[in-house]
Chains A and B, each alone.
Chain A
Amino acid sequence: MAVVAAELAPPRSSRAADLRSFLLLAVLCLPALVPLAVVLSAVLTPEVEVWSHLLQYVLPEVIANTIVLVVGVSLGAAVLGTLLAWVTSACEFPGRRFFEWALLLPLAMPAYVLAFIAIGYLDYAGPLQSWLREVFGSSRWVPPIRSTGGVIAVLTLSLYPYVYLLARAAFLSQGRRAQEAARSLGMSAARAWWRVVLPMARPWIVAGAALVAMETLADFGAVSVFNYDTLTTTMYRAWFGMFSVNAALELAAVLLVFVLIVFAFERRARAGLRFATTRDLSQQAPRIRLRGARATLATCFAAVVFGLGFFFPVLQLVLWVVERAAMDLDARYFEFVMHSVVLATSAALIISAASLLVAYLERHHGTLMVKLLVRIATSGYAIPGTVLAIGIVVPIIGVNNTLQSWLSAWLGPSAPALLLQGTLITVLLAYFARFLAVGFNPVESGLNRITAAIDEAAVSLGAAGFQLVRRVHVPLLRTSLMTAAILVFVDVMKEMPITLIARPFGWDTLAVRVFEMTSEGEWERAALPALAIVLVGLIPAALLTPRGEHVA
């Protein structure tokens, strides 16, 4: 702890301090590094037979699929999120106040639920095409929902809020001055938007799109509902179908290559993040008041996205709950909600606190090694949950067995049986490995906005070390920390595989309930826990927006 507090002093650098903080960081990131080590160590014992099969028949198509999906969803989310963020942050139109908040809500909706509902409605047998057949006699001309376009659309609708959140923060802090400057130099409003407003927000947009890309890489639920083959589904196929967990881990290593590419993109964009924040142009710009057709267009646009991404899916869930799942609602639901909330809250607190510490270490001792370590530690976000869960749970079981053998040697047969793997520690460690990136990104960009001058001013006034953090940084970082905590909270609420494998006996959560229902295809009965996840997720989303002006 002494080391920790020392790191909180204003920047200074010595070789010893650098080394010390590197070690501290390594310990801190350990839970996130272990599963990656497991993944990479699998490469040492290649499953030659499985691989030669995969290379010949599976991987060419699957890798192409993965690239198309990741590029499509990232671009889609970037365009949708940026447009919505700009319209709600720079313009005034009927319903703007509502949509500003409501457009975040799809974040609380698990992507697989959206996928299932979309297919239910839009597939050949669904109500829309049935109606079209009744009216026109045929619906063959309707583009199939179970297609590449369909899966991209659904994932885009469910993931765009990441971009929306970050881009909105960028547009709000940008003010309208830059655009005015461009216009005084002879540029039309539209061209000024392209040449100035958009490029200035680029670092944030790309940061959001990178999160989207990682989520897309890791997604199993939604792509399975679409039967769209990606690297992730291939991992499951190798593991569950060909009984080769090793091949699955090796495929995860391939996936890490994709993550590196995403990081490289993000890094290039983020290089701009620093300069883009140095001059505060925050003078709140007046909103552009949209009128007539434009106002209607803006309202419709926001309403369509909100409707498709949140309102109608929730409506469908409600209908299912009323129709079928009411019978499942019993006193235990209180317990499920409690378990979910306890896990999500603890994970949110731990991960945002750790993110703060990691961000500090990176800020004050940003050696190449430290930056690399942080990058590695946050790449777990892109690894599919089940693979990551195994990567963290199996080593913990190893630790447990070692402790057990020591304990037995010491106490003999009366030694209590240890069960680390079935404890909340394990669950939280695994969440840590998976969601560190989610918490770290907003905290890091928030910290970047605090200049060294602010630190120095505070120190000169006698607020150093822990005081500096408490009295200066925490208040300044409040919204960033809130964003981090809330994103983690919502993600943990939806998380399934880690919770399943590592939860203590009887510690069922809402996500576990969704699994119980969907594992035998009873999607309608899964509506109740899914709806509960959405509703609980609404609470933090509600906290996020009203003052979201300075988010991230």
Chain B
Amino acid sequence: MWLELHEVVRRFGTRAAVNGLSFQLERGAIGCLLGPSGCGKTTALRCIAGFEPIDDGVIRAQGVVLAKRGESIAPEKRHIGMVFQDLALFPHLNVHDNVAFGLAHVSRDERRRRVEELLTVVGLADRCFHYPHQLSGGEQQRVALARALAPKPDIVLLDEPFSSLDSELRERLGLEVRQVLKRFGATALLVTHDQREAFAVADVVGVMRDGRLEQWATPYELYHQPATRFVADFIGEGVFLPGDIVGPSAVQTELGVLHMNGGARWRPGQRVDLLLRPDDVIHDDASPLTAEVCARTFRGADFLYTLRLPSGTQLLSLVPSHHDHAIGERIGIRIEPDHVVAFERKSS
């Protein structure tokens, strides 16, 4: 395995910022640690980079131990590149020298060739002799990426690399960064709190909470088969609908009996919450089941309706935008239970 974390723990005082973190990343894959601020994702990244020691567990790259309790290879010996949240471009060096910074050991010709190649790939070949303060935010971002890639690191770490950019630029750059990383066959690990960024860049995403990994999976799986209630809540939109298990995969709800696929672990009588994504709730005028529109958001291609059931429970429904319904109107709905996931109801 190219990068492997096993039960990594990093404490600050008594608080564990990273608390038993384990995952593996294959060569050439782009991973992402996703989570709310304070979940320990940046600390995890700094542990991998070598800026923080670890208190327990082990970090390996290509089978070599990078860090374990009381033992740590110096950051500069790990062959790990990093793009920092604040970019940390060297203000006293121009673009060329920033990118060439990690190429001290290569011949001059080789260095020039490599810097040129990188700057061409990130589209900044003409900015060679500009200083960081003369560049736009997006350009600085690309310089930082080129600089991190220049020494051909085994792994590239990206710490919230788009946080200082506006949202439109963020998405576009996310794709660009992914293309650049893939082009160089780089193995990368991204840290972010923005799922759109994570989904745009990463092949595999880990959702972190309180220093632990809640789930490590592809974006598709995270969205449609969240392993925990927290992941379900954190990723995407959706509501929880209370229900009772009545059969191996049957749940009694106020919308009737719904059938989940693969719900074998439930025992009849158990009380659960069903995760209903907006695309699980289909608008169907023919359906006998109706709900009242209490809010709506026009999104261009579709509407996101907030619907209220007679019991007061609210649902979200994604409806093609030619179905224009006013607030207060009652519309027919139907549940597409294929992707419905159930979680044990909290006792409260």
Contacts and interface: CB of A to CB of B under 8 A. Distances in A.
B91 A185 contact: no
B91 A275 contact: yes
Contact of A275 (B74, B92, B151, B157): B92
Contacts of B87: 279
B170 to A, nearest CB: 19
Nearest to B89: A279
A177 interface: yes
Contact of A186 (B84, B102, B133): B102
B44 to A, nearest CB: 15
Interface stretch (B75-83, B267-275, B319-327): B75-83
A477 to B, nearest CB: 21
A342 B91 CA distance: 43
Contacts of A182: 90, 101
Interface string A195-209: 110011010000000
Given A272-B92, A275-B91, A278-B91, A183 B75 contact: yes
Nearest to B82: A184
B75 A199 contact: no
Interface string B118-132: 000000000000011
Given A187-B76, A188-B74, A275 B133 contact: yes
Interface in A152-195: 177-178, 180-189, 192, 195
B90 A281 contact: no
B81 to A, nearest CB: 6
Most buried by A among B49, B79, B101, B105: B101
Interface in B42-98: 49-51, 74-77, 79-82, 84, 86-92
Contact of B76 (A186, A199, A274): A186
A177 B91 CA distance: 12
Contact of B90 (A181, A183, A184): A181
Interface string A276-294: 1111110100000000000
A189 B76 CA distance: 8
B74 A181 contact: no
B301 interface: no
A279 B51 contact: no
B286 interface: no
Nearest to B140: A279
B1 interface: no
B264 interface: no
B92 A180 contact: no
Contacts of B86: 177, 279-281, 283
Interface residues on A, range: 20 to 34
Contacts of A183: 50-51, 74-76
A383 B46 CA distance: 53
Given A186-B102, A276-B92, A181 B132 contact: no
B148 interface: yes
A276 B89 CA distance: 10
B148 A184 contact: yes
B131 A275 contact: yes
Given A184-B80, A187-B104, A279-B132, A200 B91 contact: yes
Interface residues on B, range: 20 to 34
B88 A178 contact: yes
Contacts of B111: none
A278 B136 CA distance: 12
Given A180-B51, A200-B90, A200-B92, A185 B147 contact: yes
Contact of A180 (B84, B102, B151): B84
Nearest to A178: B88
Contact of B133 (A187, A192, A279): A279
A184 B91 contact: no
A177 B42 CA distance: 14
Interface string A456-498: 0000000000000000000000000000000000000000000
A177 B133 CA distance: 17
A125 to B, nearest CB: 50
A499 B116 CA distance: 63
B82 A180 contact: yes
A276 B87 CA distance: 14
Nearest to A176: B51
A188 B104 CA distance: 12
Contacts of A202: 92
Interface in B216-256: none
Contacts of B49: 180, 184
B76 A188 contact: yes
B91 A279 contact: yes
A274 B134 CA distance: 11
Contacts of B91: 200, 272, 275-279
Contacts of B133: 274-275, 278-279
Contact of A199 (B81, B84, B92, B147): B92
A177 B132 CA distance: 16
Contacts of B75: 180, 183-184
A394 to B, nearest CB: 46
B307 to A, nearest CB: 43
Contacts of A189: 74, 76
A185 B90 contact: no
Given A183-B74, A183-B76, A184-B49, A196 B90 contact: yes
A276 B76 CA distance: 24
Contacts of B150: 185
Nearest to A201: B92
B210 to A, nearest CB: 22
A177 B84 contact: yes
Contacts of A180: 49, 51, 75, 82, 84, 88
A394 B50 CA distance: 66
Most buried by A among B87, B90, B147: B90
B94 to A, nearest CB: 10
A194 to B, nearest CB: 12
B79 A181 contact: no
Contacts of B148: 184-185
A186 B92 contact: no
Most buried by A among B49, B50, B88: B88
A185 B81 contact: yes
Nearest to B156: A184
Nearest to A184: B82
Contacts of A274: 133
B286 to A, nearest CB: 56
A281 to B, nearest CB: 6
Nearest to B157: A184
Most buried by B among A192, A199, A279, A281: A279
Contacts of B88: 177-178, 180-181, 281
Most buried by A among B75, B132, B133, B157: B75
B109 to A, nearest CB: 19
A195 B92 CA distance: 10
A187 B147 CA distance: 13
Contacts of A272: 91-92
A172 to B, nearest CB: 16
Nearest to B51: A180
7 contacts: A180-B82, A181-B82, A183-B51, A184-B75, A185-B150, A272-B91, A279-B133
Interface of A: 177-178, 180-189, 192, 195-196, 199-200, 202, 272, 274-281, 283
Interface of B: 49-51, 74-77, 79-82, 84, 86-92, 101-102, 104-105, 131-133, 147-148, 150-151, 157
Given A186-B105, A276-B92, 14 more contacts: A178-B90, A181-B88, A184-B76, A184-B80, A184-B148, A184-B157, A186-B76, A186-B102, A192-B76, A200-B91, A200-B92, A275-B131, A275-B132, A281-B86
3 smallest A-B Cβ distances: which pairs?
A185-B102, A184-B82, A278-B133
